[in-house]
Amino acid sequence: MSVLITGGCGYIGSQLSYILSDNNINHTIIDNLSTGSKKLKNPKAKLYKIDISKKKKISKIIKEKNIKCVMHLAASILVPESMSYPEKYYKNNVINLIKFLDACVDSKIKYFIFSSTCAVYGDIKKNKIKENDIKSPTSIYGKTKLIGEEIIKYYAKKYNFKFVVLRYFNVIGSDSKLRTGPLKNTGHLFGNIIDSFLKKKMTFNLYGTNYKTPDKTAIRDYIDVEDISKIHLEAYNKIKQTNKSYEFNCGVGNGYSVLEILKTFEKIINKKFNIIKSKPRPGDTEKLVCDNQYTNSVLNLKLKNNLFKSISNAINWKKKVDEK
Ligand SMILES: NC(=O)c1ccc[n+]([C@@H]2O[C@H](COP(=O)([O-])OP(=O)(O)OC[C@H]3O[C@@H](n4cnc5c(N)ncnc54)[C@H](O)[C@@H]3O)[C@@H](O)[C@H]2O)c1
């Protein structure tokens, strides 16, 4: 059985592609390279540079390659941008998703694995978030992903395929073998810190300093990009074995505040940052930590935090990119 990865030239999709190759899983990539890059592409995978909305072309590729499982990562992904340009997010994450699903059902795929996000839970006041907790997104990005989940469930029932919804928490790190990683700083915490360090600025914009958390900064659950890829692999095995649909929260089960992350970086690089306190950005929330018991038990995983490894890989990858 062959797999299709959409967004396979992006940060997470390219890592997933390498992990699938490492496990001898034959796959094809579709990516319009809007935020992705050929530089991240796994040389073992064939890339079609097209948009997910191109129903006829995609349907043809799926049939020709005998693809039965789709891992759908292609999306617009930035919370602040989604608040400024909602139409872009509704178009890409909802309308294009529907066009893409039409292509998938036309060519009779059996399994659909969807990259969703903890942003669907919004500003939930819970210590740890379970899969069936209330979903009330505060950002347009989160809303479009939740609508995406609902559309997939509807299509799955109507057209008789199974799905896995993977709600990633904050994805960090880079490939241990430094084959891929983030190319641009998209304004996420790790990118901001590493950029400031490598450009020798050593300043850090701390967004939100008045949250009801022990050090008043926002708390998140950080999961390494290699672990996210392993979850995809196990989800793929599970859906094939059981022919059932699933929803999994994907995090390590403990939270770190922004200040704690910054201090861990400071220890590793042995340098201090000059902190500039700023207001939270639109769509930001106080605390999002994953309850991963269900994911760990069903997929037989033991997800743990290894911040040191994630930070070191991320710095080494960025150094490698900057050297080129
Ligand atoms: N990065 C995170 O921390 C995080 C957290 C939660 C969920 N996610 C989800 O993971 C997925 C991948 O995110 P990422 O961080 O790798 O982002 P990314 O921007 O690096 O990757 C997205 C890829 O999809 C491609 N793409 C976008 N729209 C497309 C379209 N219409 N047609 C074809 N290709 C298109 C882009 O060119 C890019 O290669 C997204 O669905 C995102 O919502 C990411």
Domain boundaries, the chain: 2-172+223-250, 189-220+253-289+303-317
Q: What is the CATH number of domain 189-220+253-289+303-317?
A: 3.90.25.10
Q: Is it the case that residue 222 has pLDDT exceeding 80?
A: yes
pTM metric for this prediction: 0.97
Instruction: Specify the 3-state DSSP secondary structure of 209.
Output: coil
Residue 13 CA: nearest ligand 1 atom is 16
Residue 154 near residue 273, CB atoms below 8 Å: no
* Pairing outcome for strands 222-224 and 170-172: parallel
DSSP H or E run through 33: none
Active-site residue, 18 included: no
Distance CA 251, CA 129 (A): 10
Give the chain's mean pLDDT.
Answer: 96
Residue range 64-103, pLDDT digits in tens: 999 999 999 999 999 999 999 999 999 999 999 999 999 9
Q: Which of 48, 111, 141, 211 is catalytic?
A: 141
Mutate to test the pocket of ligand 1, among 28, 37, 47, 73 (most ligand atoms within 8 A of CB): 73
Residue whose CA lies nearest to ligand 1 atom number 7: 117
Altogether, the residues listed in the chain come to a count of 324
Q: What is the CATH number of domain 2-172+223-250?
A: 3.40.50.720
Per CATH, 2-172+223-250 and 189-220+253-289+303-317 having the same topology is answered: no
Mutate to test the pocket of ligand 1, among 48, 50, 58, 77 (most ligand atoms within 8 A of CB): 77
User: What residues does ligand 1 touch, defined as CB less than 6 Å away?
Assistant: 6-7, 9-13, 30-36, 51-52, 73-75, 77, 92, 96, 115, 117, 168, 170-171
Residue 40 CA: nearest ligand 1 atom is 39
Cα 263 to ligand 1 centre (Å): 28
Residue 14 CA: nearest ligand 1 atom is 16
Q: How confident is the model at residue 178 (pLDDT cuts 50, 70, 90)?
A: very high
Residue 218 near residue 285, CB atoms below 8 Å: yes
